Amino acid sequence: MQKIRVKICCISSVEEAILALSYGASALGLVGQMPSGPGIISDQHILEITTSLPPMLSTFLLTSETQPKAIIDHYKQVNTSTIQIVDQVETSAYEQIRNELPHVKIVQVIHVLNSESVQQAINVSPYVDAILLDSGNPNLPTKELGGTGRIHNWDLSKTIRMKVDVPIILAGGINSNNVKQAIEHVQPFGVDLCSSVRTNGKLDENKLKLFFQAILSIHQK
């Protein structure tokens, strides 16, 4: 089995970033302003974290902006290596972002709700570097754009992975108890987690340890 990359999201401090990296995280997620959900920190705080870390590290800005200029402006405040767009945008937005920020990776979140999510993923796949499959619901009056801790339909995620040509990152309720099943079923490039490795909102070293032990056991098979 290929090595599964692990992205730890909702990083709120340099200390949390270092802790996640020390256990083997491949990437860190930093949450900008959102209508709901955990881990939101200021752009200034995100910048403080990114400038304190090695330059080659993969860092993701989670942005809820949907207009190209607003996404670009948000990115310029934080200097991450990747933009993770958590809401739906027009396909023309991707080209505008590429032209302005050619060195930055683009990851589009697809909230897996039903079979329409499969087509949505297929439609955006030519324009992005990866797709992250999550369990939010952007159709609610107060949008859920991530961090719900809920599992979605992994059959749909598997279908998406089989139909697109970009890496798939699986999120939504992933923890040390179900990550083996999730990886075997969906076969993603990587997994993303936030709440399952936290206690009272803080990154929990014991939960991190248990999760990466589960990942190690998968790699050893």
Q: Just give the CATH number of 5-219.
A: 3.20.20.70
**Rounded Cα distance, 194 and 201, in Å:** 9
Distance separating alpha carbons of residues 93 and 83, to the nearest angstrom: 13
> 135-171, pLDDT tens digit by residue?
776 666 776 667 667 788 999 999 999 999 999 999 9
What does the buried/exposed string (b/e) look like for 137-148 if buried means 16 or more CB atoms within 10 Å of the residue's CB? ebeeeebbbbbb
pTM of the shown model: 0.93
Q: For the chain, what are the domain ranges?
A: 5-219
CA distance 193 to 59: 14
Distance between CA atoms of residues 85 and 40, nearest Å: 15
With residues binned 3-state (H G I as helix, E B as strand, rest as coil), the percentages for the chain, rounded to 5, are 40, 20, 40
- Per-residue pLDDT at 62 exceeds 90: yes
**Each residue of 92-123: pLDDT tens digit?**
999 999 999 999 999 999 999 889 999 999 99
CA distances for 134 relative to 16, 127, 131, 173, angstroms: 22, 19, 10, 9
